């Protein structure tokens, strides 16, 4: 059925930045309906239950769980059909799902796994949902990228994270940034705002519980900070940054490609 709600899909939203963005958007306005995208329906339902238990009194916007595996075409198509059946449109797509693959596998496998989720999946999700985004009055496509994918920063001797290796992750995010540039160019004719977003170094579950502890001890920022910035983007408060050439940064302004 058609709806006046602003319909938002966030992939990889059962934890980390995605989870906090679901919360922040729901707290921001009753005008939102947020699809909490999760590869596992069970983990998605558990995340929603946790949100309702911990923040039930502050939730204004409605939330529902949507099973979506960005590496599975059938899952993506089913997600599209569910959104279309319920709302007939999609106002905001936040491509948040991502992976970091460490060397428990060989380098070639790590590279392929990183690109499968961080690049190929993002492209297929967006292009599958394109017809629903075209029905929105002011559509946004937000790709959660990383300054680790900035070629300019990789070669900057003053970049604080220059010593970090992570070639497969860096390469996949650099490729994602090119995808953003292509979609930004291709979709401009129908008024879609397309951007890459840098959340900075956050406490997430990307690298498992051990990695989470490392991030906490290392001073990584709370994922609520990028979630708040994403709300500002969705509400149109960062449109000036989107028009600039570069990644929209969590702390304001843009970073170089």
**Rounded Cα distance, 1 and 161, in Å:** 48
Q: Answer yes or no: 173 catalytic.
A: yes
User: Which burial class, exposed, middle or buried, applies to 191 when counting CB atoms under 10 A from its CB (0-12, 13-18, 19+)?
Assistant: exposed
φ and ψ at 113, to 5 degrees?
A: -65, -40
Coil vs helix vs strand at 70: coil
| β-strand partners of 34 | 8, 63
Q: Of the listed 19, 173, 185, 187, which one is catalytic? A: 173
**Nearest in space to 33 (alpha carbons), one of 65, 57, 11:** 65
* Residues in Cβ contact with 83 at an 8 Å cutoff, skipping those fewer than 6 apart: 7, 9, 35, 66, 90, 129, 132
Q: Of the listed 153, 169, 185, 217, which one is catalytic? A: 169
- What are the catalytic residues? 169, 173
């Amino acid at each position: 059925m058609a709806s006046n709600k602003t319909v938002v899909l966030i992939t990889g939203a059962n934890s980390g930045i995605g989870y906090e963005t679901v919360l922040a958007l729901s707290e921001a306005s009753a005008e939102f309906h947020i699809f909490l995208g999760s590869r596992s329906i069970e983990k998605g339902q558990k995340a929603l239950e946790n949100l309702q238990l911990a923040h039930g009194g502050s939730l204004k916007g409605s939330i529902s769980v949507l099973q979506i595996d960005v590496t599975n075409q059938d899952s993506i198509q089913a997600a599209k059909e569910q959104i279309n059946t319920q709302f007939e449109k999609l106002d905001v797509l936040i491509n948040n799902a991502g992976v970091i693959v460490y060397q428990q596998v060989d380098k070639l496998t790590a590279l392929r796994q990183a690109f499968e989720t961080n690049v190929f999946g993002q492209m297929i999700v967006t292009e599958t949902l394109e017809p629903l985004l075209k029905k929105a009055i002011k559509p946004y496509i937000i790709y959660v990228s990383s300054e680790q994918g900035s070629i300019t920063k990789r070669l900057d001797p003053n970049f604080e994270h220059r010593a970090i290796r992570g070639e497969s992750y860096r390469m996949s995010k650099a490729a994602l940034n090119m995808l953003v540039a292509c979609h930004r160019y291709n979709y401009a004719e129908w008024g879609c705002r397309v951007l890459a977003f840098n959340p900075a170094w956050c406490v997430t579950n990307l690298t498992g519980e051990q990695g989470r502890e490392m991030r906490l001890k290392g001073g990584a920022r709370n994922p609520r900070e990028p979630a708040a910035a994403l709300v500002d983007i969705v509400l149109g408060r960062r449109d000036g940054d989107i028009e600039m050439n570069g990644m929209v940064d969590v702390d304001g302004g843009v970073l170089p490609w």
